[in-house]
Amino acid sequence: MTIQQLKYITALDEHRNFVKAAEECMVTQPGLTIQLKNLEEEIGVKIFDRTKVPLKPTKAGKEIISRAKKILREVEGIREFVIYEKNQLEGECTIGVISTLSPYLVPQFIKKMKEVAPKMHFTIKELPTGLLINNALTGDIDIALMATPTGANGLKEYPVFYEPFVAYLHEAHKMRGAEYYELQPQDKPQLLLLEHEYCYNAQLLDICGLTQGADKHDGFTYDISSIETLKNLVKADLGFAILPLLSVINEKENPMYKEFKDPKPVREISLVVAETFSRKLLLQKISETIYACLPESMKQDFKYKKIQWNDSPYFIESVKGFL
């Protein structure tokens, strides 16, 4: 017994005519007749007396049709409930955010999102890329805000914005006074990476045309987990850095950071969810709110080159056995 068969018998009861019932159900008359026959054989009861003109339900058929109508009302109620739930800005939502973005965007996002969805409760988790992918697939987080494309099966990606990378230079750097930064050979071995941020590191290595980072800088090994620490290392002339623009957006007068020439290297930032995620209105509102938090300079058109990471040999080797 199927929902569709129940729809067929209620349509037949309403019209008492196979042709009209078939038209309402958008099925051929033979198709409807076969489905009715199959249902009657399955339950062992005749639902309609075909010898009557117009068609007439049997005594048992009347009870079956009455119950079928109740079931169909319940089904429609479930459908309406699901639609309602998908369009509600209420309840719980866990958002995972890459650590190279979280400190510079999440505070503004939380403030604005409280105005957009005051009945929502958000849990924000700062996680590395590998965990964001795994947790989005397992349902441990509802939404991941991260660099894409991931190339992961079972996930859907909704791009929100492109964030340019910028160079961060120490005081004595020869390009400190230039309008734009051009990659210098001497900067490559001084490139500073972040511990466990394999996606981010893969993008920096791609920009510099490197396959791996330096193990040591002037006799020291750095396990850096914070962009702010990385900035201070550059200020102390202990390395060279490439940073996401939002991490220095409040340092416009600081000569330490320089934009690249067009096409600027950028990372694509997207909302990433499991394929089964259904709260599309919530996803839309989050995307709009994030975009509203961006500085105007990032909303303007500019020439860019999107930097990939998921196919980087460095990334693949680094997360082997983890993803």
Question: Do 198 and 114 share a domain, yes or no?
Answer: no
- Same structural domain, 250 and 287: no
Q: What are the pLDDT tens digits along the chain (323 aa)?
A: 889 999 988 998 888 888 898 998 999 999 989 988 999 889 998 998 888 778 889 999 899 998 888 888 888 877 767 766 677 788 889 999 999 999 999 999 999 999 999 988 999 999 988 899 999 998 899 999 999 999 889 999 999 999 999 999 998 898 988 999 999 999 999 999 998 888 999 999 999 998 887 766 666 777 788 999 999 999 999 889 999 999 998 887 788 889 999 999 999 999 999 988 888 889 999 999 999 999 998 998 889 999 988 888 878 777 765 55
CATH number, domain at 126?
A: 3.40.190.10
Shared domain check, 260 and 250:
yes
Residue 228 forms part of a structural domain: yes
Q: Give the structural domain span for 116.
A: 91-161+267-298
Q: Which amino acid is at 177?
A: G
Domain count for the chain: 3
In a domain? residue 307: no
Residue showing tokens 């993803």: 323
Residues 151 and 234 in one domain: no
In a domain, 101, yes or no: yes
